């Protein structure tokens, strides 16, 4: 079994020593947002708070007041829909297209297995990212089934918006084109 490793600090995946491009790294080619360190760190903290909540390990007294509304939005979504997570923040690679990724959460929504990607604000690359995660999960051996993929936007006012990722196959093909262009640019 090939060994996947991830350097959290550098955000680099390797598979048996071979460097893999991550989904977010590939999408940086077409993501024109300015990468403000404050918002990047805030996003990581929101993800961590939701992850710890899903695992039943969160001490809510330690959650920063600026993060709390987005955590409350996640909790509201879980209560409103009955979503039950079964896989949280796991790292994988696509065995054919050789990209690395860490998806947010997989679980059961209305009786179907789904992948949900947590977001603070929408961007045009969201559907490409989600489709790459769904395709990567379904390519595992055995497959991690995903009838659908969703982006959930956790808002500052404690509400959420759940958006299905449309056109999974065509968005995945677009992601593969971006991945190929990124590999060409990097000489990989």
**DSSP code per residue over 1-45:** -PPEEEETTTTEEEETTEEEEEHHHHHTTT------HHHHHHHHH
Domain edges within the chain: 4-186
Work out the pLDDT band at 34, boundaries 50, 70, 90. confident
Q: Is the pTM of this model over 0.85?
A: yes
Whether residue 13 is predicted with pLDDT greater than 80 in this model: the reply is yes
* Residue 31: predicted pLDDT: 86
Collect all residues with Cβ–Cβ distance below 8 Å to 74 and sequence separation of at least 6: 50, 53, 118, 152, 154, 160
Whether residue 48 is predicted with pLDDT greater than 80 in this model: the reply is yes
Please give the average per-residue pLDDT across 47-53, as a whole number: 95
Give the model confidence (pLDDT) of 141-157 as tens digits.
999 998 899 999 999 99
Give the model confidence (pLDDT) of 79-136 as tens digits.
999 999 999 999 999 999 999 999 999 999 988 999 999 998 888 899 999 999 999 9
Topology (CATH) of 4-186: Lambda Exonuclease; Chain A (3.90.320)
């Amino acid at each position: 079994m090939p060994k996947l490793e991830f350097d959290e600090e550098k955000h680099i995946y390797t598979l048996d020593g071979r460097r893999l491009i991550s989904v977010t790294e590939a999408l940086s080619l077409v993501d024109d947002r300015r990468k403000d360190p404050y918002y990047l760190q805030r996003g990581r903290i929101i993800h961590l708070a939701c992850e710890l909540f899903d695992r039943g390990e969160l001490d809510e007294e330690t959650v920063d007041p600026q993060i709390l509304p987005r955590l409350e939005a996640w909790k509201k979504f879980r209560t409103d829909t009955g979503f039950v997570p079964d896989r949280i923040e796991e790292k994988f690679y696509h065995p054919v297209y050789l990209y690395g990724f860490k998806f947010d959460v997989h679980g059961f929504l209305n009786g179907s297995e789904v992948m949900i990607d947590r977001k603070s604000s929408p961007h045009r690359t969201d559907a490409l990212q989600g489709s790459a995660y769904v395709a990567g999960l379904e390519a595992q051996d055995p497959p991690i089934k995903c009838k659908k993929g969703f982006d959930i936007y956790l808002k500052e006012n404690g509400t959420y918006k759940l958006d299905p990722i449309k056109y999974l196959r065509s968005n995945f093909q677009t992601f593969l084109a971006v991945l190929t262009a990124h590999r060409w640019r990097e000489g990989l």
